[in-house]
Amino acid sequence: MEPIRVGLLGLGVVGGGTFKVLARNAEEIARRAGRHIVVTKVSARNLDKARLRVGDAAEIVADPFDIVRAPDIDVVVELIGGDTLARELVTEAIRQGKHVVTANKALLAKHGNEIFALAHQHHVMVAFEAAVAGGIPIIKAIREGLSANRIEWVAGIINGTTNFILSEMRARGLPFAEVLKEAQALGYAEADPTFDIEGVDAAHKLSLLAALAFGIPVQFEHAHIEGISTLDQQDIRYAEELGYRIKLLGITKARPEGVELRVHPALVDQHQVMANVDGAMNAVMVKGDAVGATLYYGQGAGEEPTASAVVADLVDVARLLTADPGHRVPHLAFQHDAITDQPILPIDEVRTCYYLRLTVNDIPGVLADITRILADADISIVSMIQKPRPDVTQADIIFITHEALERNVKIAITRIESLTTVLSSVTYLRIENLG
Amino acid sequence: MEPIRVGLLGLGVVGGGTFKVLARNAEEIARRAGRHIVVTKVSARNLDKARLRVGDAAEIVADPFDIVRAPDIDVVVELIGGDTLARELVTEAIRQGKHVVTANKALLAKHGNEIFALAHQHHVMVAFEAAVAGGIPIIKAIREGLSANRIEWVAGIINGTTNFILSEMRARGLPFAEVLKEAQALGYAEADPTFDIEGVDAAHKLSLLAALAFGIPVQFEHAHIEGISTLDQQDIRYAEELGYRIKLLGITKARPEGVELRVHPALVDQHQVMANVDGAMNAVMVKGDAVGATLYYGQGAGEEPTASAVVADLVDVARLLTADPGHRVPHLAFQHDAITDQPILPIDEVRTCYYLRLTVNDIPGVLADITRILADADISIVSMIQKPRPDVTQADIIFITHEALERNVKIAITRIESLTTVLSSVTYLRIENLG
């Protein structure tokens, strides 16, 4: 069979990795795909550097539109990143009738609905396994492997940078800022780490997972996003003492009244597999009504793990080339016309368990006041610990609650903070049961 | 689009689950597949019982060959089990030009090469996600999700019965026989548990995973198989003390000289995710050269988890119906004519780390003799612990070794056992590093 001719846009970390893996494993891949998959054109900003990397194996061009519009290219692989030029290139490629493979979660989180609709219209595929959790084939698992299920929820550690930072904070007892600096020095965090540490990158990915799981449009703009930059070392220690680890989770849940879509730090029982996902590793748990809970674990970033996902998409595209478009695996797991909008629930509508920490004057009656407020807000307590403070007239109190409505928790917190015996604001963290 | 017409052979646990899941999630599945997937005929031994279960939704027949040969059936789902009648039915279905979905690992482990060759010849698909690790889409992950990789090894807990027994033996300190009885009472183990506890079921599944990972024929007959029925409670305790858990692993590894294919109990570092897979859960780790190590976790058996995999296969078949056969995903991940035979290495050729336990007379010079024998056999020691025994003139000694050749370990054991100061045979277990 004729080889598939790939045009590679971008020769950075993932682009370089993709070129390398396709070359190194060319025979192994062809044994599987039944044909060769060959990068015939590459676009790069630095042509000399690109030449060193690619040699004579592919044509190198400066203008990526020359690839997107080339008649002798079957599939365009977009690895430029960002959502301006990349958007133009991807939409133009689709208009030219070319299949697209991309690792660009920011692009798809923001413009996915437009891009998938255009692809549907032009009968081409847009594959994006590399956009979520690097080399872990989580998109394929949800889209195809669990297609028998009504998916109930998806929850995961889908940002390696923050998981690395949290793992180090716990293991070594260091504050956030210090570990962040180390992560930057090690290359685990970028010079401007905002997207990672504030949860935006995880929310990009989560909004794609929600669409795949529930057959809804991509709704990044409605995600509730909290990062880890304000996370206090003492909450990591207290959580540990109570049998929990703190992880930055992306969680999306189908409920009768709508879909939860939220990224925030959360306490996870230390005996659950998710709590033991350390360092820069990623893991995603998917709960289906038939299959129960399944979990997928691996490297969520990096040159070759991400390239692994890009190349797997290329093999898929190669295989589905001859299936009529109506029989192909749909981009977002559900048929284009079966995607149904559902409201994303505001964070106040979330029901989960909570960890509350506050500092009080250690005098009789304080606890009675606080527990009365919690009871009035329909919040029942699983356990409570009291910890002495350097100033012996004060104490830290930590509550673990049963499932409660977030709105009620916030109301209770406001009332608790107005007590004169309460000396601090109330730190609250959600607890997720991923059993 | 026309519905896909499914003929269901067998209405036992998985057959009944498949019928139930297809009915309950019919709309969700059609939203994904783009067409309905409908069971139109069912064969069952007990027609009255089947009628109660199926109602008027499908035609019920006593002779499964009536389904296999029916012109108005697109896909045959074989859930009868066993390898005699099932083999006849599957091969006849293929000859009739029908696609086949099966959960039958015993059948494919023994007759897979013949069945896949026949399917290739007749241009039909044989899908078997449910045959390995129940609802976990591990076959899809290896076959498609990791298609960019040269796979280095696959290792997994792929038998829930034995993992349940080992978890209970560890947690409660009970001997094998007692826990087995409980597992039988709970329905986790069958009345005749031989296939599970002796590792045969795991070896069936492992031989399929090896074929998918390395592009080799199914070679169950060459697998090295050890079960857990002779596992001693004290080895579980000593392993625990040394920081390990004992799991029944299926391991297959590509080496330049051939392929390792082995099922046996093994020590796993307690900090590794695999060590924390407890109860009846399954987990499979796959190491690819690009992606690194990835892990897949979930329920490996049961009515609906297994049905989840059967139905996912049906959706896949529905989608690939119109792809020309040369472009379909190959049964065993590699194109039929790219499957290359490679020798399965005898267990003596395996290189791994070892746990050795023996009882000695606690007198000077014993250790010197033993360690000399190990050194002569090119086995170096990582650590050693000595434990007192009720008889104070004796002691238990446990060695943990660096990687060594199994043949050398056996030679050393024979020599050690011939020492007059050594009072027991040497118990040895392999240690697997799944990092």
How confident is the model at residue A285, as a pLDDT? 98
Name which of B80, B76, B108, B105 is nearest B92 in CA terms: B76
8 Å CB contact between B37 and B6: yes
Contact B315 A147 (CB under 8 A): yes
Tell me which residues of A are annotated as active site: 205
Any catalytic annotation for residue B387? no
How confident is the model at residue B91, as a pLDDT? 98
Give the integer Cα–Cα distance in Å for A155 and B22: 25
Contacts of A321 in chain B (CB under 8 A): 327
3-class DSSP state of A73:
coil
- Among A34, A312, A329, the residue with its CB nearest the CB of B146 is A312
CA distances from B48 to A327, B39, B41, B42, B55 (A): 38, 18, 15, 12, 10
Complex ipTM > 0.90: yes
3-class DSSP state of B390:
coil
Crossing angle of helices A406-417 and A366-376, rounded to 10°: 150
Of the options 3.40.50.720, 3.30.360.10, 3.30.70.100, 3.60.20.10, the CATH number for the domain spanning B138-299: 3.30.360.10
State which H helix or E strand residue B165 sits in: helix B160-172
Q: Please tell me which residue in B98, B110, B140, B205 is annotated as part of the active site.
A: B205
DSSP conformation letters of B255-299: ETTEEEEEEEEEEEETTSGGGG--TTEEEEEEEETTTEEEEEEEE
8 Å CB contact between B116 and B124: no
DSSP conformation letters of B1-36: -PPEEEEEE--SHHHHHHHHHHHHTHHHHHHHHSS-
Contact B148 A33 (CB under 8 A): no
Mean pLDDT of chain A: 96
> Phi/psi of residue A402, each to 5°?
-70, 180
Is the per-residue pLDDT at A257 higher than 90? yes
In the numeric block, the tokens 């007059």 are attached to B420
How confident is the model at residue A1, as a pLDDT? 79
Name which of A366, A402, A370, A367 is nearest A383 in CA terms: A402
Q: What is the pLDDT of residues A180-206, one digit of tens each?
A: 999 999 988 999 999 999 999 999 999
Classified by CATH at the fold level, domain A348-432 comes out as Alpha-Beta Plaits (3.30.70)
A103 CA to chain B: closest CA distance, Å? 15
Contacts of B28 in chain A (CB under 8 A): 149-150, 215
3-class DSSP state of A400:
strand
8 Å CB contact between A6 and A15: no
Q: Are strands B126-127 and B224-225 parallel, antiparallel or unpaired?
A: unpaired
Q: A218-232, A378-392, B325-339, B370-384: which has the minimum mean pLDDT?
A: B325-339
Strand partners, B427: B357
Strand partners, A416: none
How confident is the model at residue A435, as a pLDDT? 74
8 Å CB contact between B19 and B60: no
Q: What is the pLDDT of residues A262-294, one digit of tens each?
A: 999 999 999 898 999 999 999 999 999 999 999
DSSP conformation letters of B76-122: EEE---SSSHHHHHHHHHHHTT-EEEE--HHHHHHHHHHHHHHHHHT
**Between the CA atoms of A33, A38, A44 and A49, what dihedral angle is there, to the nearest 10 degrees?**
120
Put simply, whether B328 touches A (Cβ < 8 Å) is: yes
b/e string for B344-370 if b means 16 or more Cβ within 10 A? bbebeebebbbbbbbbbebeeebbeeb
Put simply, whether A47 touches B (Cβ < 8 Å) is: no
The angle at the Cα of A270, spanning A265 to A276, to the nearest 5 degrees, equals 80
Q: Who contacts B331 (Cβ-Cβ below 8 Å, separation ≥6)?
A: B116, B119, B120, B125, B126, B127
Helices and strands (H, E) in chain A, number of each type: 15, 17
- Among A33, A320, A334, the residue with its CB nearest the CB of B323 is A320
Give the integer Cα–Cα distance in Å for B128 and B111: 13
Give the integer Cα–Cα distance in Å for A69 and B424: 76
State which H helix or E strand residue A228 sits in: none
Is the per-residue pLDDT at A322 higher than 80? no
Is the per-residue pLDDT at A136 higher than 80? yes
How confident is the model at residue B97, as a pLDDT? 97
Q: Give me Rg for the CA atoms of chain B.
A: 24
B224 CA to chain A: closest CA distance, Å? 27
Domain ranges of chain B: 4-135+303-338, 138-299, 348-430
Beta carbons within 10 angstroms of residue A240's beta carbon = 14
Please determine, looking at this structure, whether the domain spanning B4-135+303-338 carries the CATH number 3.40.50.720: yes
Q: Which residue of B has its CA nearest to A289?
A: B304
Please determine, looking at this structure, whether the domain spanning B348-430 carries the CATH number 3.30.70.260: yes
Beta carbons within 10 angstroms of residue A109's beta carbon = 24
> Phi/psi of residue A306, each to 5°?
-70, -40
B348 CA to chain A: closest CA distance, Å? 29
- Among A29, A145, A148, the residue with its CB nearest the CB of B140 is A145
Contacts of A29 in chain B (CB under 8 A): 147-148
- What is the arrangement of strands in the sheet containing B37-43, beginning at the earlier edge strand? B59-61, B37-43, B4-9, B75-78, B99-102, B126-127
Q: What is the mean pLDDT of residues A408-423?
A: 98
Beta carbons within 10 angstroms of residue A425's beta carbon = 12
HEC per residue, B311-343:
HHHHHHHHHHCCCCHHHCCCCCCCCHHHCCCCC
How confident is the model at residue B435, as a pLDDT? 74
Q: What is the largest CA-CA distance in chain B?
A: 82
Is the per-residue pLDDT at A408 higher than 90? yes
Q: What is the mean pLDDT of residues A233-245?
A: 96
Name the DSSP letter for residue A365.
Answer: T
Q: Residue A117: which pLDDT band, with cuts at 50, 70 and 90?
A: very high
HEC per residue, A112-142:
HHHHHHHHHHCCCCEECHHHCCCCCCHHHHH
Q: Residue B198 corresponds to which tokens in the numbers above?
A: 């002796």
What are the residue ranges in chain B where pLDDT is below 70?
Answer: none
Q: Residue A346: which pLDDT band, with cuts at 50, 70 and 90?
A: very high
Q: What is the mean pLDDT of residues A25-30?
A: 97
How confident is the model at residue B328, as a pLDDT? 87
Give the integer Cα–Cα distance in Å for A190 and B235: 47
Question: Considering Cα of A292, then A298, then A302, then A306, what sign does the dihedral take?
Answer: negative
How confident is the model at residue A419, as a pLDDT? 97
Give the integer Cα–Cα distance in Å for A228 and A199: 8
Name which of B423, B414, B408, B293 is nearest B363 in CA terms: B423
Helices (H), A215-328: 233-241, 303-320
Name which of A280, A249, A245 is nearest A263 in CA terms: A249
How confident is the model at residue B298, as a pLDDT? 97
- Among B136, B288, B334, the residue with its CB nearest the CB of A32 is B334
How confident is the model at residue B137, as a pLDDT? 98
8 Å CB contact between B73 and B79: no
State which H helix or E strand residue B408 sits in: helix B406-417
Q: Who contacts B405 (Cβ-Cβ below 8 Å, separation ≥6)?
A: B348, B349, B350, B351, B378
B41 CA to chain A: closest CA distance, Å? 20
Q: Residue A34: which pLDDT band, with cuts at 50, 70 and 90?
A: very high
How confident is the model at residue B321, as a pLDDT? 79
How confident is the model at residue A323, as a pLDDT? 75
Task: Determine the residue among B32, B150, B285, B289 to mutate to test chain A binding: the one whose Cβ has the most chain A Cβ atoms within 10 Å.
Answer: B32
Is the per-residue pLDDT at A96 higher than 90? yes
Give the integer Cα–Cα distance in Å for A186 and A179: 10
Cα atoms found within 13 Å of the Cα of residue B367, Cβ hemisphere only: 14
Is the per-residue pLDDT at A388 higher than 80? yes
